[in-house]
Chains A and B, each alone.
Chain A
Amino acid sequence: MPDTLNYYQKNNSKKGLIIDRIAKNIFLSMAILSSSFIIIIAGIILVRGIIPFTTDNLGIGRVSLLRFLTGNTWLIGQTFASNLYSIGFIIASTLFITILSLLISFPVGVLTALFIAKVAPPSLAKILRTVVETLASIPSIVFGLFGAGVILKIVYDFSALIGYQSKGGNSILSVVIVLALMTIPTITTISEVAIRSVDQSIERGSLALGASKTQTNFKVVLSSAKSGIFTAAILGIGRSLGEATAVSLVAGGRRSGFSFDLLDTTSTLTTIMLEGLKETTGIDYDIRFSVGLVLMVVILLTNLLLNAVKRRVGVVNVKE
């Protein structure tokens, strides 16, 4: 009898090994497929994005990379037949807008998350969680329409009130508000998960030391969840930097000169790619890939920077 058993076991394990090998190859090919898309997309953007700097663009002339990155004027459209493409001021306003919107969405999002996870009674928390998750899944064009229909008017009336003639409300302020509205759900959802997964024993330890609930929430719970909250901020920034549709509806399409004035029109890297897109050949088209390349670099650098900061603030809250 032992011999028979052994035979079946051997046979079984052989079969198992073959299945394992097949499964492994399937997983591997899927992984190669998905990662190759990233490489193909990045490659195409790179190849097309350098055309304006390396060719004479059918007689219009070669675009200077330095001027492109630092300059102050963006003229677009075939009719100009110019190479006045420079995005220095646009890079600056994109970063400015992203930081401003994070200044609103980060505290609001994190405090909402804290309320849902720790303060609200379970039934209310459940409702709020659903609301926030629904908000997170609203398409950006809807946020854009809301911005164009409601926020622009409010900003316009507000600027009129302080004696300022804004361009229909299209302004940095409107963009910042729309982006904040869009990123709050993302930041809230991810922070809430991070806060909820803080080990309850740490919380109890704090309460047992005579700390109040509020002290416990701010001093222990938030600091234990800081890794996840940081991730939330990174994703929020990613969404702000990458958002095109909604932003282009309220930005106003600034073509020249950086402005810190909140009620002045603006442009971001994404809106400039989207605006006035007509032809699919020529410098006017290719230059958008150059902007895309810059946007990708900006996002990459921001992520690297934030991850470096995240490591520096010492995130060691998982040890089992």
Chain B
Amino acid sequence: MNCSIEKNIIVENLNLYYGTKQALFNIDMEIPRNKVTALIGPSGCGKSTFLRSINRMNDLIPKCRIDGSITYCGENIYGQGMDVIDLRRKVGMVFQKPNPFPMSIFENVAYGLRCQGVKDKIELQKTVKKALVDAALYDEVKDRLKENALSLSGGQQQRLCIARAIALSPDVILMDEPTSALDPIATAKIEDLINELKKDYTIIIVTHNMQQALRISDFTAFFLMGELMEFDETSKIFSHPKHQKTEDYITGRFG
């Protein structure tokens, strides 16, 4: 896969249906590399659905059907011969509610590597440590890597989930409202972390929090009723939105 191009995710004419109900309408979008792109919009507008279609997690939903294309690194991820497992290793995902596995902190981070067949102990230890350091969690857990991950606090669990994703050295990280279940301090830590991570990763984040979108993102996409209303640099969206609907939403008039 050729990943050196500037715009590494290109969405063209994407339509998505749950059974007979259409959830996304003709989405066209080019997501820039090594930037943070925020997806905003009222509940049910399709932003999480869109996020899930980027690493094909929608495949798990029965009766979900997609047409159009999403090109990642020059390859249509809905094309024939696409290796979904490989795609998900390159396009990682962090969920709304922290979902660590009921195993040790170390094993949580090593999990993806083990699934790839990595057995070398030293390599595992090195990668796990680096991922935990990068996720700004290492100092808090270095003395209890063997403890169960469920003993961590919610914010720590979410950073563990980020560590788990970056241990696979992905290219893109999708985040589905990663701070909505966390308190303000834990949220601030995750936001700092996102700012650090964007040097190495393309980050796409769904958020309900306008302030958060403004603080952390470089680009913002506004979704409404399954349509992409507006997509531009965050500063422009928040200062000079082109659509009235966008302005209404970000100023809190509806949503």
Determine if A204 and B86 form an interchain contact, defined as CB atoms under 8 angstroms apart: no
Q: Which of A205, A207, A314, A319 has most chain B Cβ within 10 Å? A: A205
Q: A204-B57, A316-B150 are in contact. Are A209 and B99 (CB under 8 A)?
A: no
B207-229 CB mask vs A (1 if < 8 Å, else 0) is 00000000000000000000000
Interface check A166, CB cutoff 8 A: no
Q: Is B101's CB within 8 Å of the partner chain A?
A: yes
Least CB distance from B86 to A in Å reads 7
The reply to whether B148 and A212 contact each other, CB–CB distance below 8 Å, is: no
Cβ contact within 8 Å between A204 and B102: no
Looking at the assembled complex, report how far the CB atom of A311 sits from the nearest CB atom of chain B, in whole angstroms: 13
- Cα distance A201–B92 in the bound complex, in angstroms: 15
Q: Is B112 an interface residue (CB 8 A)?
A: yes
Quick one: which of A275-320 are within 8 Å of B by CB?
314, 316-317, 319
State which of A202, A205, A210, A314 has its C-beta within 8 Å of the C-beta of B85. A210
Residues A215-231 near B (CB distance < 8 A) = 215, 219-220, 223-224
In this complex, how many residues of chain A approach chain B with their Cβ under 8 Å: the count is 21
Do B86 and A210 touch across chains, with their CB atoms under 8 A apart? yes
Segment with Cβ contacts to A, from B1-9, B15-23, B160-168: B160-168
Q: Output the nearest chain B residue to A314 by Cβ-Cβ distance.
A: B148
Q: Mark A175-212, 1 if CB is under 8 A from B, else 0.
A: 00000000000000000000000010110111111111
Q: How far is the CB of B156 from chain A (nearest CB, A)?
A: 13
Contact check, A219 vs B111: say whether CB atoms are below 8 A apart. yes
Contact B168 A209 (CB under 8 A): yes
- Is B93 engaged at the interface, CB distance under 8 Å to the other chain? yes
Q: How many residues does chain B have at the interface if contact means C-beta atoms less than 8 Å apart? A: 28
| B60: Cβ under 8 A from any A Cβ | yes
Query: Is A212's CB under 8 angstroms from B115's CB?
Result: yes
| A209 with B112: CB separation less than 8 A | yes
Task: Give complex CA distance A20, B148 in Å.
Answer: 43
CB distance from B191 to the nearest CB of A (A): 21
Tell me which residues from 88 to 110 in chain B have a Cβ below 8 Å from any Cβ of chain A.
88-89, 92-93, 95, 97, 99-103
- Asked if A316 contacts B92 (CB within 8 A), the reply is no
Task: Write the B146-172 contact mask toward A (1 if CB under 8 angstroms, else 0).
Answer: 001011000000000100110010000
A223–B60 Cα distance when bound, in Å, is 21
Number of A-B contacts (CB under 8 A): 72
Q: At the interface, yes or no: B55 with Cβ under 8 Å from chain A?
A: yes
Taking a contact as CB atoms closer than 8 A, the residue among B88, B97, B114, B151 that contacts A207 in the complex is: B88
Residues of A within 8 A of B100 (CB): 205
A206 to B148, CA, bound (A): 17
CA distance A206 to B161 in the complex (A): 11
- Judge whether A199 and B99 touch: CB under 8 Å: yes
* Chain A nearest CB, measured from B89 CB (Å): 4
Cβ of A75 to closest chain B Cβ, rounded Å: 53
The answer to whether B95 touches A205 (Cβ under 8 A) is yes
B 57-104 contacts with A by CB, 8 A: 57, 60, 85-86, 88-89, 92-93, 95, 97, 99-103
A201 and B181 CA atoms in complex are apart in Å by 14
Asked if B116 is at the interface (CB within 8 A of a chain A CB), the reply is yes
Contact A209 B57 (CB under 8 A): no
Task: Decide: B92 and A209 in contact? CB cutoff 8 A.
Answer: yes
B151 vs chain A, min Cβ distance (A) = 8
| A211 and B57 within 8 A (CB) | no
Closest beta carbon of chain B to A219's beta carbon, Å: 7
Q: How far is the CB of B119 from chain A (nearest CB, A)?
A: 14
Give the 9 A-B residue pairs with the shortest CB-CB distance, closest first: A210-B89, A209-B112, A208-B93, A201-B99, A211-B115, A210-B88, A205-B99, A317-B102, A210-B85
Q: List 13 A-B contacts (CB under 8 A).
A: A199-B99, A201-B99, A204-B60, A205-B101, A205-B164, A207-B57, A207-B60, A208-B92, A208-B93, A209-B164, A210-B85, A212-B85, A219-B114
